[in-house]
Structure 1
């Protein structure tokens, strides 16, 4: 009896302390996000918050966009992210509800007849809910933590998408400029070939080759220009922009790769201990285990209500006492609920193991993609592009010395532009791989689709000269 009294007193004290947090749980979400993206995220609850966010977005868009600015704008302006924060309010309301005693139920009965009036009154409390309140509150607290991890999970995904969209948009813009240079070279060579054919100084076959290259260059430029629009629109969607905000400018070129490649230590262990999807799976298993404990506690007592009863009858003294409502386990002894909880727990355990195994694999794959992209970007920058430049300079000297023809010079110029195109693509792939690696280490699955297929310039396709 003493233990029952102590448990009830503790539960009542707990019920008195249950209240809403000042930030609705958003502070923890912001901290989790900051650890993984370098930037926090705020919950816009009022019209003033929305106006302040819009003002900050406008300020960021006054300057050429950067990757970090793109992430900040996505956090401020993505309404889908703000909508996901509403789940925090739901989870916190459930936590507060679990820490408060259920409202008592008032019963009132009135019977009259034969000159006699009978009045029954009672107040009933949920005693089982009171006794299991500490466990229920802990389960609700874990569910709130799960909602916080989920919100941070969404934020990290939005940050990664904003970064990758930014790098792709800048690269598309660069590639379109180089496609225009190729088109100009093709125009010049095609017109020269036409005139030389008319003068009888070029064969029909050579002229058609130059014309074919011109046709290909025209088609490539059209595709490049569309790609600029497509990648820019993808970035716009990632940032949640519309209206007057669409006139933002992008930098002229992608940033250079770092001087040395990242060498993460204990990468697999970091993923298992820091990745949000792994942490969410672990918390889910823990919450299910706690729920299982609660199920076993109430296995044979599904409903236990106790209350004060008062009965009055005309001409009779008032009668007082108590009443207990107890659901008798005659047909269901709670075994079905316990078996269900145990099955759900094992399901959560297996899913946690699967997520952890996948996280380790994705880190290894992400690092391979990152290192390959880094080596290729450095190779283009330090080897291929300088080599093509030296070849071009040498051909120019030979052309000035009348040792080579104009078509050879134009063909070399096209090859040089193609090398620069490959350099831009490799640099874009590096920054995207870098984003995926950071996500795989501490955030979420990067949804890898393998290292990108080689571009035309890198695939060694035959070109018309």
Structure 2
């Protein structure tokens, strides 16, 4: 009898240990966290212990402040500049994108979702531990042991693993879409910084012309050629333009800080100057071709497809949970006919509960995933068409400004300068026309930025990083 009890105890220990042994790392951790055997304290030691307890109570309020700082420092890292990128020779748009993909905090936070999905996959593949019930022989009772092993793992585990596997792929596709969104934001931020700098440059160039006009108007007012109201109007226009110049400069600082945040360089304060490349618009494909390309390459649409597949696998798993079986092995000590052991099973009879809630929830998830997929398909078509038309109309506007408006103003400027040299017109007319020419060049710069913005949005809507056919 005692021998059988020892054997049963060994069997129980082997069940609760991983494959019959505990790893050395777990042993070390257990040994490190196991408190030492208490020793009787002297009176002096008791007083010291009380003082330490009071100090610990005083420091308790500071713990909430120190722990978050130490925990946050573990996730704070120095921004990394990828190999081959030198900020000293100017920052191109492609280099800004590469730096952002390395350092962007929001993208790194999103990447942590993969850890949860991997954990779900591991959990789905785990087997339930067998349960050992051991009743010791006390008095006339014989030794009794029951070993229960859930056997629904044979038909439920593959379905759980299928759900978790597809969900992991879905999360990965969603993170890829987040990466494309980051590329779009960085390119737009780079473009906004370039536009702000160009506005400041053009404003500085036009400031000389605008400052001469009030001087001439004041001189004409003194000789009686113009009224005081006309002089005040010109002076007010100059003040408004100076305020616009300050606003353009302020927008430059804001755009640079936003780009720094996207690249993960806010804490580094690394100095850089942008080095934009000439923008060459690509030849646009047809609307149908762009939509087909977008639906074939957009990660969010692929993620929606995987969500439907995951919902279908979830429905299969929920249906398999209607029946639950447990294999059992009953072992008794030596009785009237010697050692007794016999297998059996425990089954849940699905009379009142057939997992209707889980099945209904899974079916609703299938419907939701299908409708979400249809929504994303429509959004893709709308985004592609909107970006395409926006790009086409902006190109038409630039063509109008670049080849009609500016050449006409330049010809007028040439004629007026020649007339001024001949003494036919006053210099004020020359300055006023130059002012209109500066304004047209500013409109050209803004229209060119709008065209690049439309190209960036089209690239993102099609599911690509940069403009390509």
Provide TM-score, normalisation by structure 1: 0.77
Shift of 1:379: 3.2
Whether 1:223 and 2:247 are equivalent positions in the alignment is: yes
1:228-271 CA distances to partner (integer Å, 9 max, x unpaired)?
Answer: 122222212221212444421123x6623337445566222222
C-alpha distance in structure 1 between counterparts of 2:106 and 2:457, whole Å: 22
* Superposition pairs of residues 26-105 of structure 1, within 5 angstroms: 54-56=80-82, 59-100=85-126, 102-105=127-130
Query: Corresponding residue for 2:429?
Result: 408
Q: Which moved more, 1:286-295 or 1:193-202?
A: 193-202
* Superposition pairs of residues 315-394 of structure 1, within 5 angstroms: 317-394=338-415
C-alpha distance in structure 1 between counterparts of 2:84 and 2:253, whole Å: 22
* Superposition pairs of residues 39-438 of structure 1, within 5 angstroms: 54-56=80-82, 59-100=85-126, 102-111=127-136, 113=138, 115-116=139-140, 118-251=142-275, 255-258=278-281, 260-261=283-284, 263=286, 266-299=289-322, 302-312=323-333, 317-438=338-459
Q: Secondary structure at the match of 2:354?
A: coil
Q: Secondary structure at the match of 2:326?
A: strand
Q: Secondary structure at the match of 2:346?
A: strand
Q: Are 1:57 and 1:77, in contact at CA under 8 Å, matched by a contact in 2? A: no
Q: Are 1:167 and 1:254, in contact at CA under 8 Å, matched by a contact in 2? A: no
Larger Cα-atom Rg? 2
Q: Are 2:299 and 2:463, in contact at CA under 8 Å, matched by a contact in 1? A: yes
Shift of 1:219: 1.6
Change (3 A) 1:258 1:266: closer
C-alpha distance in structure 2 between counterparts of 1:243 and 1:350, whole Å: 43
Q: Are 1:187 and 1:214, in contact at CA under 8 Å, matched by a contact in 2? A: yes
Shift of 1:209: 2.4
Change (3 A) 1:179 1:442: same
Q: Are 1:395 and 1:404, in contact at CA under 8 Å, matched by a contact in 2? A: yes
Matched residue pairs, number?
392
Change (3 A) 1:247 1:371: same
Change (3 A) 1:443 1:320: farther
Q: Are 1:278 and 1:355, in contact at CA under 8 Å, matched by a contact in 2? A: yes
Shift of 1:201: 4.5
C-alpha distance in structure 2 between counterparts of 1:303 and 1:367, whole Å: 56
C-alpha distance in structure 2 between counterparts of 1:303 and 1:184, whole Å: 86
Moved over 6 A (4+): 50-53, 313-316
Q: Are 1:61 and 1:245, in contact at CA under 8 Å, matched by a contact in 2? A: no
C-alpha distance in structure 2 between counterparts of 1:236 and 1:347, whole Å: 38
1:326-350 CA distances to partner (integer Å, 9 max, x unpaired)?
Answer: 2222321233322222222122212
C-alpha distance in structure 2 between counterparts of 1:323 and 1:191, whole Å: 107
Q: Are 1:309 and 1:322, in contact at CA under 8 Å, matched by a contact in 2? A: yes
C-alpha distance in structure 2 between counterparts of 1:247 and 1:433, whole Å: 29
1:180-236 CA distances to partner (integer Å, 9 max, x unpaired)?
Answer: 233332222122322343344543233122212112111211211111122222212
Give unmatched runs, 5+ long, in structure 2. Answer: 1-72
Q: Are 1:127 and 1:304, in contact at CA under 8 Å, matched by a contact in 2? A: yes
Q: Are 1:254 and 1:427, in contact at CA under 8 Å, matched by a contact in 2? A: no
Q: Which moved more, 1:180-189 or 1:195-204?
A: 195-204
Change (3 A) 1:181 1:109: same
Q: Are 1:282 and 1:352, in contact at CA under 8 Å, matched by a contact in 2? A: yes
Shift of 1:94: 2.3
